[in-house]
């Protein structure tokens, strides 16, 4: 299960029936990634969420390949560029410019929640799945639009929910999954 960290995504411990298809797709993606032992090729949309440190550390350790980073705030981009010794060639001023130059396997959105919709709108027509930080959207209309785009373009959208990474929740999942209780 070590290779799962390449995805920098965690699965919800409790999957609602409506999300079981997405859950299964993610499991398949995890298995394929782990079995190929090839780092996932990702792009990053925004650097304003602290969880970006995780993916940048994985990049630094050779565990994931970052094809590009879209960040309009040059000061923020320079901060991360210096801290992680990132080459200039990774940085783009916006998502559309980034996607004109690279084709990631998945886009990781570490931008403001209100901008998650723009990431999905840019990636979906290119059939690039997207991971966003919680919450998914700022309005129901945005969430519905994201769902419609995912369905139309056959992509997955995953919301990273931090507490699923906690060891206690992982252990609870294993106990339930192994039918050790109940």
Domains in the chain: how many in total? 1
Helix ranges (H only) for the chain are: 20-36, 52-60, 74-84, 95-101, 116-123, 140-153, 167-177
Task: Give the predicted TM-score (pTM) of the model.
Answer: 0.73
Task: Please tell me the predicted confidence (pLDDT) of residue 145.
Answer: 96
67-87: average pLDDT: 96
Buried-state track 102-136, b at ≥16 Cβ within 10 A, e below 16: bebbbbbbbbebebbbbbbbbbbeeebbbbbbeeb
pLDDT at 122 over 50: yes
- The boundaries of the domain holding residue 7 are 2-177
Domain assignment of residue 182, yes or no? no
Q: Which helix (H) or strand (E) holds 166?
A: none
Domain assignment of residue 157, yes or no? yes
Helix-helix angle 52-60:74-84, to 10 degrees = 40
* Token code pair at residue 28: 């398949």
* Token code pair at residue 55: 């993916």
CA–CA distance from 141 to each of 26, 38, 83, 129, 132 (Å)? 25, 37, 37, 20, 17
Q: What percent of the chain has pLDDT over 70?
A: 76
Task: Please tell me the predicted confidence (pLDDT) of residue 8.
Answer: 34
List the CATH number of the domain containing 173: 3.40.50.720
């Amino acid at each position: 299960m070590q290779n799962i960290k390449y995805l920098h995504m965690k699965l919800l411990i409790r999957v609602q029936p409506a999300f079981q298809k997405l859950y299964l797709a993610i499991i398949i993606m995890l298995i394929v990634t782990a079995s190929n032992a090839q780092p996932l090729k990702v792009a990053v949309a925004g650097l304003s969420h602290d969880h970006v440190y995780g993916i940048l550390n994985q990049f630094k350790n050779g565990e994931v390949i970052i094809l590009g980073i879209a960040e309009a705030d040059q000061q923020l981009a320079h901060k991360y560029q210096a801290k992680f010794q990132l080459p200039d060639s990774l940085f783009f001023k916006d998502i559309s410019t980034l996607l004109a130059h690279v084709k990631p396997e998945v886009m990781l959105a570490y931008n403001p929640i209100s901008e998650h919709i723009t990431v999905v709108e840019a990636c979906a027509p290119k059939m690039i799945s997207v991971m966003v930080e919680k919450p998914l959207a700022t309005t129901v209309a945005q969430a519905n639009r994201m769902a419609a785009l995912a369905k139309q373009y056959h992509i997955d959208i995953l919301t990273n929910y931090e507490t699923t990474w906690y060891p206690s929740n992982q252990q609870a999942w294993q106990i339930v999954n192994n039918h050790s209780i109940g």
